[in-house]
Each structure stands twice: as structure tokens, then as C-alpha cells.
Structure 1
Amino acid sequence: MTLFAWPKKAAFERVVPKSKIYEYGAVGGALKERFVQQVEQITWAYKLAPETLNLPATKTVTEIQVFRVALKGAELDRGVLKAIDRAIPFPLIFELIQGTRIKVAAAYKQSSRSQKGEDDSSRWRIGNYFETCWLPEHTTRQPLPVALDMSSLYEQLLGPLVQNGITRVKEQSSVAEARESPAAIYSVTATSEQPARVTLEQRIELAEAMAAQLKEIEQVKARLGREKQFNKRVAINAELRGAKQKLITLEEERDQNGR
């Protein structure tokens, strides 16, 4: 998984008090406790903007911010990231630091602009979070991808995270099927490349649909394991076959998009 080398010109390095996130991120008591238990420090690390990257802003993406979150342990409630996203009115890329490890996380964040004007953009839609696996903190970083504008850069920064989410679902389903049968019906064929005709939104929808379908399969399996009556087990088995077939269909869609 790629770690990007953020330009030195874009360095911001401002520590963000948790109290500011509480104030602007709609943080309740239970979530505050998670901030206290799980987060050591929040740093606004880089400001990717037209003046720091020489890339033009667009109506949908004027700037991208990189936040570094130092963790007290390996766990982080995704509500913490969402609160930070709510508090900061720009798309965010998170670098999570725990000891000598790092992972990248982000959600697709879209502004809900009113029809009154381009600058009226106080509301945001925040999708599900995608993330990398843990990597050594000193992993070699790669240059930023070539982009024509800020929107294009944002899509290319999120693209590998979304693809990683699709691949992880495929791997999870493959492992689960391999445990049940020597002839697993899922294949693990990961690629970081996507055809130009498949938009970021379509890839996100597919990743979320695959994750939801895998969750449904696991729930049906759990019900099957608890059920003792034969006739009910037959019905649940039929439901399980249908759920697995839906996941196969989603994987076929993913593979077709990759051609």
C-alpha cells in the first residue's frame, strides 16, 4: 500500500486541541471518552492547496488536509475520525500513528452546496472509512500522483484506499469459503489499477456493497449455527446460498469493471 510523500511546501504542523473538535464536531460524552482513551494528539500536518501544490481548486475540492492522529493503543473508534471530519470543512486524509507503525484512513467527503452560491458549503456528506493495513512508520513514501486539479488529486489519493477495501472483502470471503470447502468459489485477484470509465463513486459503492453483503453472510451463518430444527436449517441454508450468490455477482461486477 502506497504512502505518499507530502510536499514540504505544504507542511502546516499545527496541534489541534481536542476541545476544538468537541466544539465543532458534535461530540457527545461517550465519544469524548473515546478521544481521551484512544487519542494522544491530533496534528494538522499538511495543507494541500492551490498555493502549496500549484494545482487549481475546483468547485467541489478547494483544499485537502492531512491530519496525523497519534494513538495511545492500536484501537480507534471510527466515530473519532468522523468527528474530526465534521469539525474541518475540507476533505481529510488521516495518518494514524501507533508506536512505530502507521496506517492511512479516509472517507469520501462531499460538500452539500446550496444553490445560493458556491461559498455556501457548511454541510458535508461523509461516507464509510477505508484504510490500509499497518505499515512500518519509516516505509518509503512515493511522490504524489500526477493530477490536473484538486478534485483529480483527491480521487487519486482515495482510489488506493477504496481498492484496498474491495480486495480485503474478497480476501475475507475467500478465507471463509476455503475453511468450509476445498473448492473455494471466490478468487483473490487484486489490482491497484482501475479503468478510467469507473468513477470513484462507483468504486466506493461497490466496496460498500461487498462489505455489507459479506456481513450479511456472516450473520446468516451465525443464525444457522444456532438453529437446531431441521426444517428451519434448510430454509436458512437456502438464504445463505442466495446471500453468497449476491456476493459472487458483486465480485463479477468488480472483475468486469477491471477489464
Structure 2
Amino acid sequence: MTLYDWPRASAFGRVIPKNKIYEHAGANAALKDLFVREVDQIVWSHKLAPETINLPATKAVTEIQVFRITQRGKSLSIDALRAIDRAIPFPLLFELAHDGKVKLAAAYKRPSEADSTKWVLGDYFDSEWLKDDAPRVALPVALTMGALYEQLLGPLVEEQTVRLVPGAIAGFGEAPQASFAAAPVVHPLSLEERIAQAEAIKTATREVERIKVRLFREKQFNKRVGINAELRAAREELRRLMGGGDGEVE
């Protein structure tokens, strides 16, 4: 994953007071305490919109906002990101900064089909930490704001999924940072399909690890035989989700 060189015309650079987030997110005392402990500063750094990057809006994505969050420590609770996402009625991309390093984070966000005034927010995906002065790349080529949003989130989904299952990737004879793909389909996967695939891989990976723990703890031979059969089935399902291959998940 690389950092993006946000277009100069999209620069916004507005510091957002935490109390504005509290107000719009309906924050309780616990959430306010979390922000005090973990968040140093919130900057609305860039606004990717038709008038700033010359791409037409779509129904689901009219603008994309980039927020830079300076953390007090290396970790930042997902609850803090969710509160900011709930307070801003646009898809968000976060640059999380701490100790001279930065990483990207985002959750897939779309208008609710039942109520267009509300937003549906998925799970968060993030990149590895990079040096804050690492080279940045231009935005991916896209024809609409919606297509740009998919191209910005797609690599985050893929990178985190590969990072969560390094043993599985190695078992398929691929490098640790190799990409994953679902079983062959007749059309390219949409962002929603890729996220669903990533979540399925995460669940299957956890199931493999859970069964491996059971196998390690079990001493009776006849019970180990049954658990080994479960493990083979779970590995096969994970292998299927990750696109096939002859290797076994270790």
C-alpha cells in the first residue's frame, strides 16, 4: 500500500474541534474520554469532489473526505473512527498519524436504501504503517467519484486480508504480500463483493485457528482423528475462498 498525493486543489486543511464530533455523533461520556486519551488532533485535510478533482458525482458518492487524525499513542480505537464517520455525511478516508508514521484506514460507507438520509457503515480496513515522508502516488485513474472510491478502498481490503492470513498465503505457494482472488467469476468483483469475500476469508481463517487450538489441546487419539477431519474441511473452505490451489493452510 502507498500513500496518495492528494491533489492540491482538494486541500481543505480545517482543524475540527472534538466537541463538533461529539455533537454530531451523539457521544456519551465514555466516547468523550476515549477521544481525550487517544486523539490529539483531527484535521479535515482534503475534499475530493467534482469541483476539486473534476470527476462527476454518483448517486452513492458525491464527495470523498480525507481526515488526518494525529494519535496520542500507536493504537486508535475503532469507536473513535466510527464516531467521526457518523458525524460526517460523506464517505471518509483516514490518514492516521503517530510518531513520524502514517497509515490509511477506511470503512465502506454507503447511503441506506431504506432511508437516504442515513448511512450504512461496514468494518474498517487499514494499511501497514509507513514513514510520513514516504513517496506518495497520484490518485488512481477513474471516470466517476464512485469508481474512485472503489479504487481507493480496494487495495486496503486486499492488503488487510493478506496480512490476516500470512500462513494461508504461504501455504498456497505465494509471497506473503501476494494478492488474493475469489474463485473464477464471469464478471469483475464489485467493492461490496470484495469486502464480503474478505470477511468470509477472515471468518474461515479464525475457524482454522480455532480448530488448530483444539487439536493441540486434545490428547486422545480417537478425538484427534475427528478434529483433524474438521481441520482439513476448514482448510479446504479457506483454500476455496482464496481462489483454490493445491497447497495446504499451515
TM range (shorter): 0.7 to 0.9
Match of 1:203 among 194, 199, 212: 194
The residue number in structure 2 matching 1:187 is 174
Q: CA deviation at 1:192?
A: 9.3
The residue number in structure 2 matching 1:233 is 224
Q: Is the 8 A contact 1:61 1:91 kept in 2?
A: yes
Matched, 1:148 2:143: yes
Q: CA deviation at 1:172?
A: 4.1
Matched, 1:79 2:70: no
Q: Is the 8 A contact 1:10 1:48 kept in 2?
A: yes
1:7-41 deviation digits (Å, cap 9, x = unpaired): 11111111112222222224333333322221111
Q: Distance in 2 between matches of 1:83 and 1:51?
A: 27
The residue number in structure 2 matching 1:218 is 209
Q: Distance in 2 between matches of 1:192 and 1:235?
A: 30
TM-score relative to the length of structure 2: 0.87
Q: CA deviation at 1:185?
A: 4.9
- The one-letter code matched in structure 2 to 1:219 is R
Moved more, 134-143 or 24-33: 24-33
Q: Evaluate the alpha carbon distance shift between residue 227 and residue 253 of structure 1 in structure 2; reply closer, same or farther with a 3 A threshold.
A: closer
Q: Is the 8 A contact 2:181 2:243 kept in 1?
A: no
Q: Distance in 1 between matches of 2:74 and 2:119?
A: 28
The residue number in structure 2 matching 1:39 is 39
Question: Which runs of 5 or more structure 2 residues have no equivalent in the other structure?
Answer: 246-250
Percent sequence identity over aligned pairs: 51
Q: CA deviation at 1:252?
A: 1.6
1:143-178 deviation digits (Å, cap 9, x = unpaired): 111211110111111121112123223424346xxx
Secondary structure at 2:136 match in 1: coil
Match of 1:166 among 152, 161, 165: 161
Secondary structure at 1:33 match in 2: helix
Aligned residues: 241
1:174-203 deviation digits (Å, cap 9, x = unpaired): 46xxxxxxxx45533724999972221221
RMSD value, Cα: 2.5
Secondary structure at 2:203 match in 1: helix
Moved more, 193-202 or 90-99: 193-202
Question: Which runs of 5 or more structure 1 residues have no equivalent in the other structure?
Answer: 115-119, 176-183, 255-259
Q: CA deviation at 1:226?
A: 3.5
Secondary structure at 1:125 match in 2: strand
Secondary structure at 2:211 match in 1: helix
Q: Evaluate the alpha carbon distance shift between residue 242 and residue 96 of structure 1 in structure 2; reply closer, same or farther with a 3 A threshold.
A: same
Q: Is the 8 A contact 1:40 1:71 kept in 2?
A: yes
- The one-letter code matched in structure 1 to 2:123 is N
Q: Evaluate the alpha carbon distance shift between residue 20 and residue 145 of structure 1 in structure 2; reply closer, same or farther with a 3 A threshold.
A: same
Q: Distance in 2 between matches of 1:94 and 1:244?
A: 34
Secondary structure at 2:56 match in 1: coil
The residue number in structure 2 matching 1:257 is none
Matching of residues 124-139 of structure 1 within 5 Å: 124-139=119-134
